[in-house]
Amino acid sequence: MPTEILMPALSPTMEEGTLAKWLVKEGDTVSSGDVMCEIETDKATMEFEAVDEGTIGKILIADGTEGVKVNTPIAVLLEEGESADDISAPSSPKTEQSSNTAPADASDKTAPAAGYGRGATDATPAITSAAPSGGDGKRIFATPLARRIAAEKGLDLSQVSGSGPRGRIIKADVQGLSQSDAPKAAPAQSAPAAPEAIAAPASGPSAETVMKMYEGRDFEEVTLNGMRKTIAARLTEAKQSIPHFYLRRDIQLDALMKFRADLNKQLETRGVKLSVNDFIIKASALALQSVPDANAVWASDRILKLKPSDVAVAVAIEGGLFTPVLKDSEMKSLSALSAEMKDLAARARDRKLAPHEYQGGSFAISNLGMFGVDNFDAVINPPHGSILAVGAGVRKPVVGKDGELTVATVMSVTLSVDHRVIDGALGAQLLTAIKDNLENPMTMLA
């Protein structure tokens, strides 16, 4: 029976996407790993690959279609011996409940078989009742081609461990096996939990109420894209569910500015120019190492303490923002951090970051100093334990160590902290460590 290809969940927050471009056409033959189309998620444009081999029998969703729900059939794959006449009308988007419990009409010989997506966050593929079951009565998830090969070889699929999405048995799992060397009682791979759907913020008046309030006024209505919907939902959730508290310090930058100028002069021949933000990233990474209990994230019923310093940095783009993560920042030189940050920021603005490049980390930096903002309070991006809001460096009078009045370049920073993860004294230690690193920049090279 034909196999439905489903709209995959390509990121943890993806509920729908845009099918930007098909790279195959009806009648084309594809193999496992072939790129079939480009899909725009709420964060980036990503390639979607075939899991099985076969022929594209029908394309159900056209190029440029927006708002395609995850698990909606987007195409139909035909195996050898099948034709387009076997294709029935596309089914509606599948849910895990319906795929596991909805009975299939045994007389329906043209209903498409299970669809598939790609990636650890995909919803469980839907399997028709024709799928074999194991001895314990549990349904076996396998592609039609894998089932056919297993039948020809006399293999018991309940003894085969699948390597496809969510443990699904694919052609490669059975092709080289015989009855004698098939795995015995191999435990089925446990499927990772499907990501929780992010609900739209429920606070505030309805759209109809707001529209009525401004009836007769001149305004432009802006439709929310996937990124803006995700930002709205996640940050509303963050402010409502995370017990924020805030710690503020002034940091004198004169030593750092002089040190930076000297370094940039020496690095000029290599085409490297360090920014103040590069020093802030390095200072924060080293501070997380010196205060390891603060290098932590909230995981619902537990706290995870990270060993490396994976520092996220907010990057503004048109219509939203990304927070690419610089992994193992404590191990990298200032010039390496500078080059990596420039690359991540450029690809973020082009929406070309892969999910693993903007997920993770325990700590984030949001720098609005370049926009002339003196200070502000940033919202924690869950599951991070804290975020540092960085203001502009401003010349102002200060009292020196000997009590004399002098002028210095002072930068105000605010550390927003998740009180479930970090208590007040621990947060103060982390912020003090960041301040010490920035006011004594030479120590960051030790």
Residue 4 is which amino acid? E
Angstrom CA distances, 32 to 49, 77, 146, stand at 7, 12, 13
Query: How many Cβ atoms sit within 10 Å of the Cβ of residue 167?
Result: 19
Decide: 262 and 422 in contact? Cβ < 8 Å.
Answer: no
Structure token digits, residue 150: 């297993």
Q: Using CA atoms, how far apart are residues 74 and 76, in angstroms rounded to an integer?
A: 7
- Return the active site residues: 419
- Of the CA atoms within 13 Å of residue 4, those in its CB half-sphere come to 27
Q: What share of the chain is helix, strand, coil (3-state, %, to 5)?
A: 30, 25, 45
Q: Are residues 311 and 304 in contact, defined by beta-carbon separation less than 8 angstroms?
A: no
User: Helix 424-439 crosses helix 276-290 at what angle (to 10 degrees)?
Assistant: 130
Beta strands at 113-116 and 3-6: parallel, antiparallel or unpaired: parallel
Burial class (CB in 10 A: 0-12, 13-18, 19+), 300: exposed
Name residue 339's amino acid: A
Least Cα distance to 222 among 230, 211, 234 occurs for: 211
DSSP-derived 3-state class of residue 124: coil
Q: Beta partners for 55? A: 29, 78
For the record, the structure tokens of 313 come out as 């940095």
Query: How far apart are the C-alpha atoms of 181 and 177, rounded to whole Å?
Result: 6
User: In angstroms, how far apart are the furthest CA atoms of the chain?
Assistant: 92
**How far are the Cα atoms of 80, 117, 398 from residue 52, in angstroms, in the given order?**
12, 11, 68
In 3D space, the residue among 251, 273, 243 whose CA is nearest the CA of residue 431 turns out to be 251
Concatenating the DSSP letter of every residue in 413-435 gives EEEEEETTT--HHHHHHHHHHHH
